[in-house]
Structure 1
Amino acid sequence: MARVAFVGLGVMGFPMAGHLAAAGHAVAVYNRTPAKAAAWVGLHGGTAAAAPREAAQGADFVMACVGNDDDLRQVCLGDDGAFSGMRAGAIFVDHTTVSARVTRALSDTAREQGLGFVDAPVSGGQAGAENGQLSVMCGGTEADYAAAEPVIAAYARICRRMGDSGAGQLAKMANQIAIAGLVQGLAESLNFAERAGLSIPAVVEVISQGAAGSWQMQNRHATMAEGRFDFGFAVDWMRKDLGICLAAADENGAALPVTALVDQFYKDVQGMGGGRWDTSSLIARLRR
């Protein structure tokens, strides 16, 4: 068992840290809102720290799951950052979805300080985090990945090294690109069926067994039909992720016409007041 720090206790980080504690690791947590860290300790034991540096002291691994590039820099760097508290040889594992550029920069800084670094963004949403069934895409050295993978296994259904630093983030971008077009297609399909006077459950029962079937269809069709979008991965975060994808595509020359279009559709949903709605809320835009 390892000594682990977990930085960031949002809808993903809170249950992920809980799985680490359940697996027997000694866990210290930090969250910007201290009350959430205290609540986590009340449920799972361990300790709450006042700063990332304090949480990281003595840890073998420091896991982070925060909001964006700036948040990640803030919890890593500076006098109160995790890097300043980590011992030589400890490994920082970043589960945040951020740009490959900030990942590589932080990885370089970590190595200059004698630390390991693995970028390990996740897919599977809140339910995947709660059930310990996340897909984890990793970048970093083979040695750092090999050391971190048994710890990540506490909340992973699958965990794979995709390549060197930044490769995990690039794989997560491919994931978000695939999801964006798929959710829009599902929203259009269900809206079409509604307007045609068909039964959504009956349609989904049939088409989900063929080539149209998907995780999104199975897990989101009922709530989309009912107009319930108060759970899961928020539109605001999806737009952040798609912005990262589009910027990376500008760098590598990939064409993302559907992704760019769906990003604008999500902007429309934000304009409807749906920034915190689940990403399946694309159907709400079609019902206006």
Structure 2
Amino acid sequence: MRVAVLGLGIIGSRAAANLQRNPKNRVSLWNRTPKGLEGEIPDLIEATADADVIALYLKDGPAVREIAERLWASSSGTPVLLNHSTVDLETTRWLAGECAKRQWGFLDAPFTGSRDAAANRQLVYYAAGDPLLLEKLQPFLLETSKEVIACGEAGRATIIKLVTNLVSACTVQALAEGLATASHHGIEPETFTSAVASNACGSPLAALKLPTMASGDFEPHFSLQNMLKDSRYVLELAKGLDTPAIKAVSDRMSELCDSGLATKDYSSLSSPYLDS
């Protein structure tokens, strides 16, 4: 497979490294700001020339639109475009329509999983689009993931990704408030963490985040600014519905990003409570 991976952040760089481990793949990498990684090509058009698959791990909707337009303006081939970036629903539908016009294959394929999952091929892709194309590319997708969940027509995977991130953001805010309240009354973080693990509210997310929240270790696995971006996309999806939880958490994340925590992990929602 001739593959171009565009976007070499926390996830894209690790997914690319996994693809490079398959000697049958020829992998080219590109990032707006060069990272100096093996296989990286500074020029976008050169990096994607004659690619069978172009995989996008970009920051947001505007970045995806800009790069897609640059590709279409210069490409003479008809590769498959895999959008793994978390974007708004309108951008996904636009990508699907524009790819169809040009006879490019397209899959709407955002993922769940953060830094360590990406490194260990433990991502899960929500994948939507042509079922025959998805079937063909499933082995390729499994080179960077442990599971591919078929979601139907393009756009449905984007919706699922955004609403599950809504749940994660609200859960971490609830964990931060619970941890802070328990600590305020003299309960050790370890006791609270153990209690949550044995409670119905326990989850892999709680097990992952609570220890680092208690210690103030906010090394980014999934950044606060990215979760804020996704929360705003969710609010767009939810227009006409009363969604007070994600609105409140989105506002909170905006405040904390403005305070200097934007590049920290979104578990930094607990940061305001550390000194209280």
Q: Which residue of 1 aligns with 2:22?
A: 23
Instruction: Please tell me whether the aligned partners of residues 55 and 82 of structure 1 are also in contact (alpha carbons under 8 angstroms).
Output: no
Q: Which residue of 2 aligns with 1:94?
A: 83
Residue number among 38, 61, 64 corresponding to 2:56 in the alignment:
64
Deviation at 1:122, TM superposition (A): 1.1
Task: Tell me by how many angstroms 1:82 deviates.
Answer: 5.9
- TM-score for both structures, normalised by structure 2: 0.94
* Matching of residue 40 in structure 1 with residue 37 in structure 2: yes
3-state secondary structure, aligned to 1:273: helix
Query: Residues 226 and 27 of structure 1: is their aligned pair in 2 closer, same or farther, counting only changes over 3 Å?
Result: same
SS in 1 for 2:4: strand
Structure 2 residue identity aligned to 1:40: L
What is the CA–CA distance in structure 2 between the aligned matches of 1:82 and 1:17, rounded to whole Å? Answer: 22
Partner residue of 2:206 out of 212, 217, 225: 217
Does the 8 Å CA contact 2:82/2:106 hold for their aligned counterparts? yes
Change in 2 beyond 3 A, CA 1:208/1:149: same
Q: How many pairs were matched up?
A: 274
Residue 192 of structure 1 aligns with which residue? 181
Counterpart code for 1:31: N
How many Å apart are 1:262 and its aligned residue? 0.5
Q: How does 1:80-91 map to 2 (within 5 A)?
A: 81=71, 84-85=74-75, 87-88=77-78, 90-91=79-80
2:44 aligned partner: 52
Unaligned runs of 5+ in 2: none
**Residue 285 of structure 1, aligned match among 267, 272, 275:** 272
Instruction: In structure 1, list runs of 5 or more residues that go unmatched.
Output: 42-46
Q: C-alpha offsets along residues 29-72 of structure 1, whole Å, 9 cap, x if unaligned? A: 111123x1xx321xxxxx33333322222211110101111111
SS at match of 1:232: coil
TM-aligned CA deviation for residue 83 of structure 1: 6.8
Identity %: 27
Partner of 1:246: 235
Alpha-carbon offset, residue 11 of structure 1? 0.9
2:29 and 2:41 in contact (8 A); partners too: yes
Kindly provide the CA deviation profile for residues 136-180 of structure 1, in whole angstroms up to 9, marking residues without a partner as x: 111211122122221111111221121111111111011111112
Give the conservation status (yes or no) of the 8 Å contact 1:53–1:86.
no
Change (3 A) 1:142 1:72: same
Deviations 1:171-199 (A, max 9, x none): 10111111121111111111111111111
Return the alpha-carbon distance in structure 2 between the equivalents of residues 83 and 100 of structure 1: 23
Q: Which amino acid aligns with 1:285?
A: P
Cα deviation for residue 210 of structure 1 reads 2.4
Find the aligned partners of 2:53 and 2:121 in 1 and give their Cα distance.
18
